[in-house]
Structure 1
Amino acid sequence: MRTRRTPVRADEPATYTWQPVPGELSVAVMTLGHDADINGAHEAHSHDFPGLAFFSGDGGIVRTGKQVRHVEAGDLFVIAPGDVMGQAHCDDLVGAQGWGVFFTADVLGPETPGAHLAWRTHPLLFPFVRGGATDALRLKVPPQDRSEWAARVEALRDELTHRREGYREAVSAHLVLLLVGVSRLAADVVGDLRENAEPMLAEVFDVIERRYPEPLSLREVAEAVRISPGHLTSTVRKRTGRTVQEWITERRMVQARRLLGVTELTISDIGRQVGFPDAGYFARTFGKVHGMSPTSWRRVNAR
């Protein structure tokens, strides 16, 4: 799992962005426990991708938002993009038995909405949309289901580690089953998650989702949601850690990667389909985000 730290103001937590690797699935599993490499300087931060933290036994603490939560057997933390994880210490999870699962939404298929707030309509991603919430949602896996959850996460990690034939399909299946379990647990606790608590932000992301294939500026988004560009900029950055233009670019890059991977369209045609009439500008933007040209991405991904 490779991430990039987004610079922020001194009074804001850092934001980490997943850096896709051509040919690799954007799914990662890690063991959660005692870590001597983490100390008090390990900063508070958030991610712009979703994650889960599941604990099969008691032990340790988790810092989310401004809360310190003592870990109990069966705890399942649903970490949404923008949720703040507190400054970590090496002994926070001494004695803990847990796993972290992180992924990007596009691994669930080409029809998955590219904008975070549009996930409220997705049957597997709606628990990761909570408006202005800043700390992870805490659910509880029933005692009779905990061994099955642990086995499922271990099976997912095994597939990612050994990459046997068919591992992509296996990873997708295990991840979907985990998210089905999350959705079932969340349904009774957060029944209003589909009705986003940030109507203005939901409208912004709806505009981006509908209009990213065409030229789209900050001013045009602001006009569509009937607020000033300055207010829109400050609100979106405060709530998500990113600018409107960064979200537009991210949505375009998600679709560009899909088209590079599953079509034989020319680079110019792909650029036009994702809102870049100028093929050169599309190639430069893609290269800045991914560290390689669209042609190189396609070549490596095809392998």
Structure 2
Amino acid sequence: MRTQRTPLKGDEPAKYAWRPAPGELSIAAVRLGHGTDVDGAHEAHSHDFPGIAYFEAAGGVVRHGAQVRDAEAGDLFVIAPGDVMGRARNDDLHGARGWGVFFTADVLGRDTPGAHLAWRTHPLLFPFVHGGATGALRLSVPEEHRPEWTARVRALDDELRHRRDGYREAVSAHLTLLLVGVSRLAADVVGDLRENAEPLLAEVFDVIERRYAEPLSLREVAAAVSISPGHLTSTVRRRTGRTVQEWITERRMVQARRLLAVTDLPVGDVGRQVGITDAGYFARTFGKVHGMSPTRWRASGHLNTR
């Protein structure tokens, strides 16, 4: 799991973004318990990708923003992009036993929309829609279903560790079944979100998904959803932790990675296909996001295609 830390100004927490290498399957299973050491976990931070934290056994606490919650057996925390996790201490999870699963939506299949947009629209990802507005969603896995949840996450971890033939398909299947479970547990909450919380965001992400491959500005998105650019900026940032322009760029970079990985298109043509007509600007934007040029990113693909 390779993340990139972006420190923010003032007292705002750091953001961690997943920057997949060529051929990387962007999903990670992490054990949670005493001694857990996840990069960035000991400072207040948020992610731009979704995840879940499932506890097989009680013990310790989970810090979300300013809240401190005891971890109980069967607890399932649904962590949306933009959710702020509080500054952790080394002994926070003493006595606990569980798993964290973090991923991007690419893992669900080639036809799923962009990795950082699909969790807003995919039916299995709607529980992650709250994005910093209402806090991490806390659910409870019934006792009779806990062995099944534990077995599913362990099977996912086993596939990721050993990478046997067909492991990509197996990982996608295990994740899908986990998300079906999350969706069923969150059915009532999801219904409320669909009705009351996110119609504007749904419109915004629909516009981005349809038009990211052409020149697209904040003002054009605002006009498409019939509100002022200022109001749109503040609303989207408050509810997702990111700006509209950051979401546009992220969607373009998802498609750019795909084109660089599976085609021989010149870099300039890749940029044009994702809505950035200036080849130099595309290369600079890609480099800022990924820490390397598009050409170098493509060339390193043979190291991660297993």
Same fold (TM over 0.5): yes
| Structure-1 residue corresponding to 2:55 | 55
Contact residue 118 and residue 202 of structure 1 kept, 8 A: no
Deviation digits for residues 112-164 of structure 1, max 9, x if unmatched?
A: 23375664441211111026534211111121211121111111112212222
Give the Å deviation of 1:17. 0.9
Contact residue 79 and residue 128 of structure 1 kept, 8 A: yes
Secondary structure of 1:194's counterpart equals: helix
Secondary structure of 1:190's counterpart equals: helix
Residues 34 and 228 of structure 1, relative CA distance in 2, 3 Å threshold: same
| Structure-2 residue corresponding to 1:95 | 95
Residues 140 and 87 of structure 1, relative CA distance in 2, 3 Å threshold: same
| Structure-2 residue corresponding to 1:248 | 248
| Structure-2 residue corresponding to 1:289 | 289
Contact residue 76 and residue 138 of structure 2 kept, 8 A: yes
Deviation digits for residues 53-92 of structure 1, max 9, x if unmatched?
A: 0111111111123322111111111111111211211111
Contact residue 116 and residue 129 of structure 1 kept, 8 A: no
Worse overlay, 231-240 or 4-13: 231-240
Residues 46 and 36 of structure 1, relative CA distance in 2, 3 Å threshold: closer
Partners in 1 of 2:115 and 2:248 — Cα distance? 9
Residues 121 and 236 of structure 1, relative CA distance in 2, 3 Å threshold: closer
Partners in 2 of 1:167 and 1:300 — Cα distance? 22
RMSD: 2.4
Deviation digits for residues 181-233 of structure 1, max 9, x if unmatched?
A: 11121124432333461433333222222211101122222333333333433
| Structure-2 residue corresponding to 1:206 | 206
| Structure-2 residue corresponding to 1:74 | 74
Secondary structure of 1:191's counterpart equals: helix
Matches within 5 A, 1:1-303: 1-35=1-35, 42-114=42-114, 119-130=119-130, 133-195=133-195, 197-302=197-302, 303=305
How many pairs were matched up? 301
| Aligned residue type for 1:53 | A
Partners in 1 of 2:58 and 2:36 — Cα distance? 20
Partners in 1 of 2:188 and 2:267 — Cα distance? 46
Residues 82 and 134 of structure 1, relative CA distance in 2, 3 Å threshold: farther
| Aligned residue type for 1:155 | A
Secondary structure of 2:193's counterpart equals: coil
Task: Point out where structure 1 has 5 or more consecutive residues left out of the alignment.
Answer: none
Residues 24 and 117 of structure 1, relative CA distance in 2, 3 Å threshold: closer
Residues 221 and 109 of structure 1, relative CA distance in 2, 3 Å threshold: same
Give the Å deviation of 1:265. 3.5
Query: TM-score by structure 2 length?
Result: 0.89
Partners in 2 of 1:23 and 1:119 — Cα distance? 21
Residues 36 and 108 of structure 1, relative CA distance in 2, 3 Å threshold: closer
Residues 123 and 202 of structure 1, relative CA distance in 2, 3 Å threshold: closer
Partners in 2 of 1:98 and 1:276 — Cα distance? 43
Contact residue 120 and residue 193 of structure 1 kept, 8 A: no
Partners in 2 of 1:295 and 1:77 — Cα distance? 39
Q: Percent identity?
A: 79
Partners in 2 of 1:165 and 1:88 — Cα distance? 38
Partners in 2 of 1:117 and 1:286 — Cα distance? 18
